[in-house]
Amino acid sequence: MRDIRHFVNGSAFEGASGRFGEVFNPNTGEVQARVQLAMAGELDLAVQAALKAFPAWSATNPQRRARVMFEFKRLVEANMQDLAEMLSAEHGKVIADSKGDIQRGLEVIEFACGIPHALKGEYTEGAGPGIDVYSMRQPLGVVAGITPFNFPAMIPMWMFGVAIAVGNTFILKPSEKDPTVPVRLAELMMEAGAPEGVLNVVHGDKTAVDAILQHPDIKAVSFVGSSDIAHYVYSQGTLHNKRVQAMGGAKNHGIVMPDADLDQVVKDLSGAAFGSAGERCMALPVVVPVGKAVADELRERMVAEIDTLKVGLSNDADAQYGPVVSAAHRQKIADYIQIGKDEGAELVVDGRDFSLQGYEKGFFIGPSFFDGVKPGMKTYQEEIFGPVLQMVRADSFEEAVELPSKHQYGNGVAIFTRNGRTAREFASRVQVGMVGINVPIPVPVAYHTFGGWKRSAFGDTNQHGMEGVKFWTKVKTITARWPEGEIGDSSFVIPTMK
């Protein structure tokens, strides 16, 4: 059986913990590999490699670091098909979604290629008599990222792309459920010209996470995952004097106004709710039609649309989505569907009995659709993270604004309308971090910034864009005066009231 090893100091690293996790093939349900699980000692070896690499890498000028990013981008593009197949084989998402996963990560790498411009500081000439003041952004040192199973290429690149480009060295702890692609990305970064120790990959479970959070030489941690763990990472990381950004769960809403283009809405909902088997923090699992007529028509159209969806193998080019990542996750989704039914919501389409012929042990689950969901229900309040769409009917625009605004999560929201004034007012008033107007999954482009509100994010700095540059750097401000007298003349003092 294949063993997936750590990647430290530019090469594969054989851990000594003797601990392993199982990596499944979601299509068949079979174990396809073992992944090593690190203890604190192995994490420390990676940190030491990163510490050794940091002085020279941080002293490398930004233009040369950008050239590494350009070459890394070229290599990832050249290996796109192989990377997508690796990703699909461990995660279960179809090849098209895997390529999208990689491409959205590459967009942040493209942003990182412009790091010389992003690192330019501020300058004030003549702030005082003969005095100039300027600032510079400098890297933090050794930093780390802890990433989830659902985007094993995109989210690591969101983190290490900017962090490395600004001059840090990086420790990546990817999900142990689908760890092969992150290791391959690290290999490609070395091929692109990054020195040994600049990007290291350490696999593990909570033991490795705690080692990262407690290690005194790791200066910052970025995390994406569930809200409970995000809160834990934020509280423990800051307790150990680290800068932390921790992105949590979501329950994104799609508001459908009476004037919306329902043909487009149905297609958008289908992709946003069921694409990638709903395993996306920016999925759209809640639809809020405004008015009974809109709700009734939307329900009828969604049932017909769901009937056309094809669930298949991850390498099936005709499938809309493939299996979920694990048997445990499949069972969790099925349990939520039963809870929703028990709570009194109407289960219009039940996907729990779906089975793919010849792959009955695979982690497949069909699309499900609820109507009559109420805000007090557990299944509405919590993140299901599967191919389940819930309809919450609203009688008015005011009620539609209130639903996502009062929810515990505030990651993303969308409104479907042809009325510019309605869209503008909604975007201004809704208490959610990312808003789409006729855009079902409003993930910002790479040169803007990604981040939710409320229990969807902990910390005060978002991911990628200039917010990412700020998170992975510290500011130094210099006040300079060149006296007219001889060297050593110290007549300048701090101004006083005199």
Active site residues: 281
| Phi and psi, residue 45, nearest 5° | -60, -40
d(CA 372, CA 381): 14
Determine which helix (DSSP H) or strand (DSSP E) holds 476, and give its type and residue range.
Answer: strand 473-481
Looking up tokens 């990381």 gives 237
List helix spans (H) across 172-321.
180-191, 206-214, 227-239, 262-274, 292-306
The β-bridge partners of 369 are: 349, 389
Contact call for residues 40 and 187 (beta carbons, < 8 A) = no
d(CA 306, CA 367): 7
Angle formed at CA 80 by CA 280 and CA 34, multiple of 5 degrees: 65
Looking up tokens 């100091």 gives 9
Contact call for residues 195 and 168 (beta carbons, < 8 A) = no
Q: DSSP letters along 110-172, please?
A: HHHTTHHHHT---EEEEEETTEEEEEEEEE-SEEEEE--SS-TTHHHHHHHHHHHHTT-EEEE
Q: Which two tokens stand for residue 264?
A: 């487009």
Q: DSSP letters along 74-114, please?
A: HHHHHTHHHHHHHHHHHH---HHHHHHHHHHHHHHHHHHTT
Neighbours of 216 (CB within 10 A): 9
Which is nearest to 151 in space by CA: 71, 191, 97, 216?
97
d(CA 157, CA 186): 10
The β-bridge partners of 2 are: 33
Going from the C-alpha of 109 to that of each of 96, 174, 359, 487, the distances in angstroms are: 20, 18, 37, 46
Which is nearest to 152 in space by CA: 176, 127, 118?
176
d(CA 258, CA 242): 48
